[in-house]
Amino acid sequence: MPQRQHDGSTPRRGGLFRRGSVGATPAAPGTTRRTTYVVDGRLTSAPPHTSIADALRFSQEEPGRIALCLFPDPTVADIAELADAWGLHPVLVEDLQVAGQRPKLERYGDVLFLVVRSARYVDEAEEVDFSEFHVLVRPNSVAVLCQDGRWVDGSDDATLPRNAETADHTLLDDSELLGLGPEAVVYRLLDVIVDGYTPVLRGLAIDREQIERQVFSGDAAVAERIYRLSQEVIDLRHATSSLVDVVAALRKGFDRYGIPEALQTYLQDVADHLTLVDGRVSELRDSLSQILNVNATLVSQRQNEDMKKISGWAAILFAPTLIAAVYGMNFDNMPELHWALGYPLAVGAMIAFAAGLYITFKRKKWM
């Protein structure tokens, strides 16, 4: 049984990963798979209802060919057909059937398997929405499975353009890059995903600034908002840090798998961008942690101020209560009981003690 090996590579350009493209052929009934052929870097039409086995044979007939099988919403039957046509290892097939994985890179013989996750920020809910992609690469063939039924930008079938001619060509619009081999498709996908992290960080940073203002305004609900936003940042951190490992593994495989030098340059650009993104995520996480500590400190200070006021008023009320308690003991031999000025003197003493304590506490800023 072949062992899992970790290796790696990527490029850098922008755009969105969408369904339609010139030359994309709808799959057979019952599946959403779309097949696209690339010949010497140029898109070409695939025959209607092309099977995965047909696409694999096409890519192997002559040099310079690439077959891309795109699965917008992969089914069990899709995975079974792909496994049969490509001769996939049972462990790999099992991975393809399980979503919710962290980014990783594994190699089974001549098949490279990547799990990557794109992200978009939903500002209304203050949540980071992730989309998971499983990518399989073998000589002259690429398969991309969208495990969440969404694209890199979060679009689904309801919002995608229906006309294949006008759809975004993110993965296949650079003939020079595609001429470097099937790894170019992987690089383009990684680059779009990494670029997509930037607006997510921007949205999180705006919310962090709002939280800072909330903290110093004394909003009692801010602690919950900090915790929720911190969880989103932690999830993003898991995605970016794991992707850093994937890109590093790809770079280690340059020499072993004969990756063209031009693609190595693209990967270096993606790696640099990803390093910056990962660093910003770490800084944002640390910043939220500091804000949480500041909020805890301010809450403690406000509680101390409240306790000072409570203690001050308790002391002010204690003096009159003490005097009233003495004269309320009902002893027979109390000389003050028969004084004509006893009552006004007792009340005056109460007021004087209370006023004196209030002035003292006020000067010490306890009140």
| DSSP helix/strand/coil, 142 | strand
Provide the pLDDT confidence category of residue 155 given band limits of 50, 70 and 90. Answer: low
pLDDT in tens, 268-281: 888 899 999 999 99
Neighbours of 198 (CB within 10 A): 13
For residue 83, pLDDT beyond 90: yes
For residue 164, pLDDT beyond 50: no
pLDDT in tens, 179-194: 788 888 888 889 889 9
Give the pLDDT of residue 5. Answer: 41
Q: For the chain, give the percent of residues with pLDDT over 70.
A: 81
DSSP per-residue string spanning 294-325: HHHHHHHHHHHHHHHHHHHHHHHHHHHHHHHH
Query: How do beta strands 42-44 and 25-26 pair?
Result: unpaired
pLDDT in tens, 105-118: 999 988 999 999 99
Q: Phi/psi of residue 134, each to 5°?
A: -105, 125
Lowest-confidence pick of 146-155, 223-232, 233-242: 146-155
Task: Name the amino acid, one letter, at 18.
Answer: R
For residue 299, pLDDT beyond 60: yes
- Gap between the Cα atoms of 193 and 239, Å rounded: 11
| DSSP helix/strand/coil, 287 | helix
| pTM to 2 decimal places | 0.73
Exposed e or buried b per residue across 119-148, where buried means at least 16 C-beta atoms within 10 angstroms of its C-beta: bbbeeeebbbebbbbbbbbbebbbbbbbbb
Q: For the chain, give the percent of residues with pLDDT over 90.
A: 24
Return the closest-CA partner of residue 165 out of 353, 18, 304.
18
- Gap between the Cα atoms of 351 and 367, Å rounded: 17
